[in-house]
Structure 1
Amino acid sequence: MKLLISIILISTVLAVIPTKVTNCIANPSVIFTEATLSVQPQKGVDETITLYGTANTHVELANVQLKAKWNGVDVFQEDFPEDEIYEKDDKVVYSLTQNFPTYTPSGKITTQFYFQNAKGTNFGCAEISIVL
C-alpha cells in the first residue's frame, strides 16, 4: 500500500510540464523565470498554467488580464481580479485553470498574462505559447 501511495505521489509531481516563459513588457516590476502546465495541452481538458517570478520592487496586484492569440490573431481577453501585495524580492506564484473548448481551432495559442495595479497599469507580463 505504501508503494502504491508513493507511486501516485511521484506521478503527480512529475505530471507538471515546464514550458518557456518570456517577459512581455519593458522594465517589469515582476520578472517571470518559469512556467508550468498541469497536462499536455488538449481540447476539452482543464489546464492549469502556473507562473513563477520575483518582484523587484513594491507592487500591488489588483488584476490579471489574460489575452490570447490564435496563430497571431486576437481571440480572447478576460480579467481576473486579485488582491495581492508583493515587496522587493518576494516570490510571485500565479496559477490559472482554463479549459480549451473542444471547438477551439487547432494551432498555436499565445497567452499573455498582464499583471495590473488598481489604476490598470501593467507592471508585469508573462507570455507562454502552446500548440493544440
Structure 2
Amino acid sequence: MKRKNLGLIDKTIKDLIWKEFLEEIKKAKSTQEIKGVTNKFFTSNEIEILEKRLAIVYFLNKKLSYRKIGEIIWVSPRTISFVKNGLKRNTKPKGASSKLKFTPISDERSNKRPKYPTFTGKGGWRFLSM
C-alpha cells in the first residue's frame, strides 16, 4: 500500500469506518481475538509499527529514558521523540488554519540589492550569498 494520500475520504465515511473498526475491537473477548481483528485490517509490517509505538507510549509512561527504550524495542530516539510529541500534539482537521503566517521579505531589503549582479569588479560574486 502506498503511503501517499491520493484522495480524501468524506468525513461521514471516516466516522462510519472508525465506528465499525471500534465495534470489531469491542466484540473481541481476548487478546487473540484482537490480534485476529487487527490482522484483518493491517499488514504484518503495520502491526509491528503499531506494537512498537504502543510500547514506546508504555515505556514513556514508566519514565524510562530514550536510550533504555531504544535498547528494549530497538527504535531510534527520533522515533521515540515523534511518538512523544504526538502525545502532546493537539490534532486538528486537515486544512485548519495555523498560527504561522507567511511574511514576505520586506521591500526595504529587496530594494537595496541590485536586480542583476555585476559581471566584473567588486560584488561580482555577491549573488552567491543572497
* TM-score of the pair, normalised by structure 2: 0.24
Larger Cα Rg: Structure 1 or Structure 2?
2
- Where relative contact order (Cα < 8 A, 6+ residues apart) is larger, the structure is 1
* TM-score of the pair, normalised by structure 1: 0.23
